Amino acid sequence: MTTHIWLRAESKPNERRVAVTPKDAARLIADGFTITVEASDQRAIPLAEYEAVGCLSATEGSWRSAPNECFILGVKELPDENIELQHRHIYFGHVYKDQPGWHQTLGRYRAGGGVLYDLECLVDENNRRVAAFGYWAGFAGAATGVMSWCGQNRGDNPSLAKLGSFPNVDLLIEALKSALTQCDELPNMIVMGALGRSGRGAVNLANELGLTVSKWDMAETASGGPFPELQQHNLFVNCILANEDCPQFITKKDIANEDRVLSVIVDVSCDPESLYNPIPIYHRCTTFEEPVISLPIEDPPLDIIAIDHLPSMLPLESSQDYSHQLVQALLTLDEPTKGVWGRALDQFNRHMRRI
């Protein structure tokens, strides 16, 4: 039987990314796959480009009635609906770290007999992710931090208003450089997790703008904290995923320091509701519509940005990069209980036993 991938439209506001581009869809079709792509007004890549390489088309949201053998592929979470999930779904589920609603989401799979292959759990034999948006998350996250810092310097309240996406990375860099020319000085930045995918993206953004950047990773945090150095940077970009071994980087006690220079925190990893949140001074995500949380402190102010789909600021580049990585795994989807897919399935089954 032909392996059928159904590329669904995203329902999350401002989510313009896609997991597979037309170029890689053509590669899958050439290998015998069937690809159906839903129409979408917000996807960065038009449906016509998929149809041009041989993809079938479908109306937005029609995955709900797609044939049961289809793999329903997306990027972000499914709509929060009270319907059973019977298909094999592939997307970032955000349900394996006890996030709010995890029990209900997995309950929908139990009721419908479906399966979640969480994109975050697609790992090789060495437990390394085979595909990630991390680079562009770090790049875009650092960019929002610079935007917020420039807004603070202008006296804007909030420091960063509604965000949108950029057609390409060159236009983003141009906009940031223009904003920085209106500031009296350039900010300095510290990147936590600088050796990882997201960290490299954040560091490269800083380099593009000529900013001084301190690169921290496991060696610099081995002491377990506290880390007063973080307070002496204008911008702090966290790119380390929260887990039980992660130290707390910034606490309420830290930000009360009268010598604090820090005025913008960007939590690229963005897991504020996790028990392992390394920045326990905020407890909710921000959005493209309301990008910052302004803490009730001054001299200097302190704004937090925690958007969980930052690469959507650069949907074209981030989609192209991710699709190029993911297609290697998708080419093996005809054996969904083995290799990369088998490991993701094991994770799903393990968490299903918790409900």
- Cα torsion angle, 329, 204, 161, 305, sign: positive
Q: How far apart are CA 134 and CA 146, in angstroms?
A: 18
The burial of 193, by beta-carbon neighbours within 10 Å (0-12 exposed, 13-18 middle, 19 or more buried), is given as buried
Catalytic member of 4, 23, 76, 324: 76
Length of the chain as a residue count: 355
Q: What is the DSSP letter of 308?
A: T
Is 76 assigned a catalytic role? yes
The amino acid present at 114, given as its one-letter code, is G
Is 23 assigned a catalytic role? no
Catalytic member of 12, 87, 89, 94: 94
Q: Measure CA of the first residue to CA of the last residue in the chain; give whole Å.
A: 33
The DSSP code sequence of 240-303 is PPP-TTPPP---HHHHT-TT----EEEESS--TTSTT-S-TT--S-B-SSS-EEE-S--SS--E
Map tokens 């590329």 to a residue: 7
Q: Which residues are catalytic?
A: 76, 94
